[in-house]
Amino acid sequence: MAIFGFLLSAILYYSAISKARAVISRTNRGVVLFIDGYFSEISNTITMLDEIKEIKDAMALDEENRQHILASYRSFSKANKNITYIYSGYENGLMLINDYTPPEGFDPTTRPWYRAAMAIKPETSIGLPYQEIKSKEWLVSTSRVLKQSGGGYGGVVAIDCSIDQVVHLLAQHDEYKTEFSFVVDRSGKIIIHPDQSLLGKSLPEITKAFQQDSQGDFTYRLDNVEDVAHYSRSTVTGWTVVTVVEKREILRPIITQVLFLIGLTGIIAVFLGLVQSILLSRRLSRPLVELGKKIKATIAGNEPDIEEYVYPNNEIGSMAWEIGQLAKKELNAKARELQESEETYKTILMASPDDITIADLSGRIIMVSEAAHRIFDYPPGEGPGMSVMDFIVPEDHERAQANIMKMLHENYPGPNEYRALRKDGSRLDIEVNNSLIRDRQGNPVRMVLIVRDITSRKKAEQQIQELVHQLEIERDLAQSNSLTDSLTGLSNRRFFDNAFRTEFARHKRSGSQLSLIMLDVDHFKKYNDHYGHLEGDACLRQIAHTLQTVVERAPDILARYGGEEFVLILPDTDSQGAAALARRIGESVRRLALPHAKSDTAEFVTISLGIASAADHVLTDGAQLVALADRALYHAKMNGRNRFEILPASI
């Protein structure tokens, strides 16, 4: 049947393809002849117009002579019904055309038909398709340059003709419904096609097939549809006409015929097979069938009635009887071995402290060990027939399914931890290790799940984690207290010393700007003596809060240096930037308006500030910059307090 089907298909295939190529070749020749005749007349007409002196020299003529030209255009249009427009454009912007008013600013020299003619002068340009703006009709422009009487090319005469007749001819089909033709210009762009959305487009799948010869056959695939095509070129226009038909339409009748004949052959073969089966079954097939039944019954543990079938007295009958006896003996021995092995494995399963569950690949439980009843609180006998998912909380189902798939496809054994359910609905934590039971071919047939109750272990782990977390909190708190001033909540002197060493080292390494501001409260001892130490502490806390509000940049470091004295580390800040910040700090403290009855400077609490910038001095260590800032603070106090001073450079 295979050989018959192959030969028949090959014969019908080549016959149908040959017929299809002949049909589309005939259609293609008809289209080419029509296009040659259609455009030969247009080409001859435009050549005649090129010879008329008035049309060549229209730029130098008056309006009356130009009307004569338009009258000539009307005469030519009436003589040839295929002509839609005759017009001429000139290099000075003049446009001569009947029954059409060009828009304002219209320049014919910029139009495609003008440029096309100029590009191939003095030859005629044929085949420039475009869609007329008003009527939406598709036209083809044929144009030719006009050589002026005095020499040179000063304009172009053009004829637009309707391609409706050509399109109608292209869309017609002969014997195939999918047959149609289209036209491609010399550059490979489609200029005439029944589907107007393809006009102007280039199809490399098609054009590369006919780059050499002027005509021929080829096949191509476009949008997953294979087409059989024939092409030839027009001698008048130089266009290529392509006629195509879908290959599946050609092959559809072939497939129908082949299927019919193969089906008929198959019916005959089945009939002959039935006849052969009936003739040979009693002598050859029946003994083997009965042998198979006997072996299956022996495997299932059923003793068949040996008198039910008597083997025939021939070679097949004797062989079947001998095989049956041997199979019965071997199967009985294997059954005894399996029974002993099963008892051994069952003893091991029941002695395990962990639950050992055997399930099929869908998760349906086949057998559980005795530990399962203790872990999940189910009575003996329950479990087989249930799904392994029945023992896992719903929130863990998706993860459990993913782990089972991972075991099946990647042989992943685990362990995996889940939250499980007892029969009464209470929860416990379990750990599951997986394995697969495979057949002789290595295909998985069963899952083995070893389940351990880890509830006590999880509680112990949680207690350890909580203890570690508490120790980390106490450690962080102790570390924070060691670096924080307890009165103001600012960084303390210890934190300042560590941070300042880091920033000064960065300044020395990269040459970056670094400034320091030291400040203290004016006459703070008098404030404490007058208002008391509790009010003094409150005053320092308010000033510290104000400093935190004013100092907004993340890199800046604010610390309590000692007593009523504070310090600011200002990375990437020069003396001018530090002065601007000091001014804002002083104004913010004054806005607090904290009364200070014993101050010799003002009636409110004020501060004095000293500024030093590392870039203004030659320094070898950070202690020198601290001393310079302290010196600037001293100058601020000596100059009347409630102010800031910048230590000048090189001092």
Q: What is the pLDDT of residues 279-299, one digit of tens each?
A: 666 666 666 676 677 677 666
Residue 211 has pLDDT above 70, yes or no: no
Buried b / exposed e over 114-153, threshold 16 CB at 10 Å, is bebbbeeeeebbbbbbbeeeeeeebbbbbbbbbbbeeeee
pLDDT of residue 350: 63
Pick from 632, 614, 651, 647: nearest CA to 520? 632
- For domain 52-162, the question of CATH label 2.60.40.1120 is answered with no
Given pLDDT bands bounded at 50, 70 and 90, which one contains residue 338?
low
Lowest mean pLDDT among 210-224, 329-343, 368-382, 601-615: 329-343
Asked whether the domain spanning 352-458 has the same topology as the one spanning 52-162, the reply is yes
pLDDT of residue 284: 63
Residue 209 has pLDDT above 70, yes or no: no
Distance, CA of 41 to CA of 259 (rounded, Å): 53
Average pLDDT over residues 308-336: 70
Who contacts 145 (Cβ-Cβ below 8 Å, separation ≥6)? 50, 117, 118, 121, 122, 153, 155, 156
Return the CATH number of the domain spanning residue range 352-458: 3.30.450.20
What is the number of H-type helices and E-type strands within the chain?
17, 20
pLDDT of residue 546: 95
Residue 364 has pLDDT above 50, yes or no: yes
pLDDT of residue 607: 96
pLDDT of residue 413: 82
Average pLDDT over residues 67-78: 89
Both structure tokens of 28: 């293609």
pLDDT tens-digit map of 601-629: 999 999 999 999 998 888 899 999 999 99
| pTM as predicted | 0.39
pLDDT of residue 495: 94
Alpha-helical (H) ranges within 532-641 are: 533-550, 575-592, 622-638
pLDDT greater at residue 343 or residue 375 = 375
- Averaged pLDDT score across all residues of the chain: 83
Given pLDDT bands bounded at 50, 70 and 90, which one contains residue 10?
confident
pLDDT greater at residue 459 or residue 610 = 610
Average pLDDT over residues 329-351: 67
Given pLDDT bands bounded at 50, 70 and 90, which one contains residue 306?
very low
Average pLDDT over residues 564-575: 95
Residue 525 has pLDDT above 70, yes or no: yes
Average pLDDT over residues 459-474: 77
pLDDT greater at residue 137 or residue 94 = 94
Distance, CA of 210 to CA of 207 (rounded, Å): 6
Q: 618, 533 in Cβ contact below 8 A?
A: no
Given pLDDT bands bounded at 50, 70 and 90, which one contains residue 454?
confident
Could you tell me what percent of the chain has a pLDDT over 70? 86
Average pLDDT over residues 96-114: 85
Average pLDDT over residues 244-271: 83
Given pLDDT bands bounded at 50, 70 and 90, which one contains residue 27?
confident
Locus of tokens 């004016």:
522
SS3 571: strand
pLDDT of residue 549: 94
pLDDT of residue 374: 80
pLDDT of residue 590: 95
Given pLDDT bands bounded at 50, 70 and 90, which one contains residue 386?
confident
* Domain regions of the chain by residue span: 52-162, 352-458, 484-646
Look at the domain 484-646 and name its fold: Alpha-Beta Plaits (3.30.70)
One-letter amino acid at 87 equals Y
Distance, CA of 580 to CA of 587 (rounded, Å): 11
DSSP 3-state helix, strand, coil percentages of the chain (rounded to 5)? 50, 25, 25
pLDDT of residue 263: 84
Residue 408 has pLDDT above 80, yes or no: yes
Angle at 498 between CA 492 and CA 500, to 5 degrees: 95
Which segment, 57-71, 191-205, 545-559, is predicted with the most confidence on average? 545-559
pLDDT greater at residue 108 or residue 252 = 108
SS3 397: helix
CA-to-CA dists, residue 474 to 462, 480, 481, 484, 494, angstroms: 18, 10, 10, 15, 20
Buried b / exposed e over 540-576, threshold 16 CB at 10 Å, is beebbebbeebbeeeebbbbbbeebbbbbbbbbbebe
Where in the sequence numbering do the catalytic residues fall?
564
